[in-house]
Copies of this chain bind each other. A is one copy, B any other.
Amino acid sequence: MGGLFGVASREDCMSDLFFGTDYHSHLGTRRGGLAAHEGERFNRYIHDISNAQFRSKFEEDIKRMRGRRGIGVISDFEDQPLIIGSHLGVYAIVTVGVIQNAESLVGQAFHKRTHYSEMSGGEINPTEIVATLINQEATFADGIERAQAVIEGSCSLLLLTEHGIYAARDRLGRTPLAIGRKDGSVAVASETCAFPNLGFEIDRHLGPGEVVLVTENGVELKKAPGERLQICAFLWVYYGYPASAYEGINVEATRYRCGAELARGDSVRVDFVAGIPDSGVAHAIGYANTAGIPYARPFVKYTPTWPRSFMPTEQRVRDLVASMKLIPIRDLIQDKKLLFAEDSIVRGTQLQDTIRRLFESGAYEVHMRPACPPLIFGCKYLNFSRSRSALDLAGRKAIKELEGRSDANLEQYSDSSSDKYCTMVDRIRSRLQLTSLRYQKLDDLVKAIGLPKCRLCTYCWDGAE
């Protein structure tokens, strides 16, 4: 998915740039990058973070960096930031989002003899496409507006120029951007969890399509926000860090409410409520607190050496990592009835393995409670590495088994009051060998978040565009 961080300060702010970007590490696993403006020069560093943490890769670089303004990025795919020379001047650019119509935009550019040089494996760097769009206009603000108008998908971005940092949230606000302030500094971040430990207070959340120019002296409005908001509801369910907030709504607390909603309608009797680490933990806490059932940790993560989900390229290594990271505690499993909360079920392959290990460790019953409805539609608005193909989704596979094809009656399957929905859920439950499986209802999820449904993107669950 990716995350952005920028900071402008009256003093050297490279330390804030480093830590602020680092606090977005949960949003991407492939590339990290920093760019700063020092005197007349732009300094940039990009590293592969697929096998090492952002901090270990950049800690030598940051010692050499100087400057009072900088931008950083954690990226799931391409190299960023790019340093672009153009008729607007030199600037650095980082983006988050997905360009659905990249091919058509590139074709138009080739027609004008524009080239792309940030290629890897023959693929054009999407951030360079954004830059070429911005360069078509006479000012940065116009260029950004044009880029956001023609891009289908979404694109939030930061531009480091000699005048300050342009920050733009994507047209429908699918991804967040927030402004933080402290004495002498202004920051902009995808995740507000980057703020408290650096001393920033949340100033405000940018609106959909809003463009501002951030300097150490403040925030200048370049384009007012639009009316329509379609922020991704999955940010609260899974992607966001517990300490972050979007539209003023904290993630951790939302997850407790998700768990509480799950518990409210539930009458299952179990010994312990637990969360699949780490994604289901907060949902489980909310459930346990509401249900009055003891919360426990039958699986513990071996954090000293399995800190995060590095993405080894080999599936074999990936499976190994998955199975070594969590250690079962037989005393909390054997002969026990266990209820697990999880954020969601994507393909379900890893979950299946976890459930099998629980039964092998002697579990008597295993109940699963995903904090959101079944995923039916593949996202076309954000750049997720997590769910590769819509057809691999546990829901879609069940539909294919039931209907003979995977794209039949999707609307009915996304309606939790339908028979087809119940059949699909039972099929998933049966494949995962669960004692019981109850998904969150979409209305309950929306209630837990607290925004009107029309301001949330719920496409992956109900196909609403």
Contact = CB atoms under 8 A, between A and B. Distances in A.
A83 B305 contact: no
Chain A contact-residue range equals 35 or more
Most chain B CB within 10 A, of A26, A121, A305, is at: A305
A302 B288 CA distance: 24
Interface string A29-55: 000000000001111100000001111
A119 B26 contact: no
Contact of A295 (B42, B252, B288): B288
A52 B59 CA distance: 14
Q: Looking at A116, A282, A302, which has the most chain B CB atoms within 10 Å of its CB? A: A302
A245 interface: yes
Please give the count of copies of this chain that the complex contains. 4
Given A19-B324, A23-B302, A278-B303, A87 B110 contact: yes
B361 A196 contact: yes
Interface in A50-89: 52-56, 82-87
A85 B119 contact: yes
A308 B193 CA distance: 19
A303 B307 contact: yes
A453 to B, nearest CB: 22
A115 interface: yes
Interface in A269-295: 278, 282, 285, 288-289, 292, 294-295
Interface stretch (A326-334, A393-401, A410-418): A326-334
A300 interface: yes
A180 B286 CA distance: 37
A25 interface: yes
A437 interface: no
B197 A41 contact: no
A242 B85 contact: no
Contacts of A118: 117
B55 A305 contact: yes
Contacts of A354: none
A193 B302 contact: yes
Q: Which of A245, A288, A324, A329 lies at the interface centre, i.e. has the most chain B CB atoms within 10 A of its CB?
A: A329
A434 to B, nearest CB: 21
Given A136-B113, A294-B289, A295-B295, A119 B83 contact: yes
A112 B112 contact: yes
Contacts of A121: 41-43
Interface in A311-348: 323-324, 327-332
A253 interface: yes
Given A297-B285, A330-B196, A115 B90 contact: no
Contacts of A163: none
A4 interface: no
A117 B83 CA distance: 6
Contacts of A372: none
Interface stretch (A127-135, A376-384, A438-446): A127-135
A104 to B, nearest CB: 14
Contact of A115 (B25, B131, B252, B253): B131
A235 interface: no
B245 A331 contact: yes
A250 B119 contact: no
Given A25-B305, A122-B40, A305-B22, A289 B300 contact: no
A245 B53 CA distance: 32
Would you list the 4 A-B pairs with minimal beta carbon distance, nearest first?
A: A307-B307, A85-B116, A83-B119, A87-B110
30 contacts: A22-B305, A25-B302, A25-B305, A26-B304, A41-B122, A42-B122, A52-B56, A53-B304, A53-B305, A54-B304, A54-B305, A84-B116, A85-B116, A85-B117, A85-B119, A85-B124, A115-B132, A117-B128, A117-B131, A197-B327, A242-B329, A243-B329, A250-B331, A250-B332, A278-B303, A285-B297, A288-B289, A303-B308, A304-B308, A307-B307
Interface of A: 19, 22-23, 25-26, 40-44, 52-56, 82-87, 90, 106, 110-122, 124, 128, 131-132, 135-136, 193, 196-197, 241-243, 245, 250, 252-253, 256, 278, 282, 285, 288-289, 292, 294-297, 300, 302-305, 307-308, 323-324, 327-332, 361
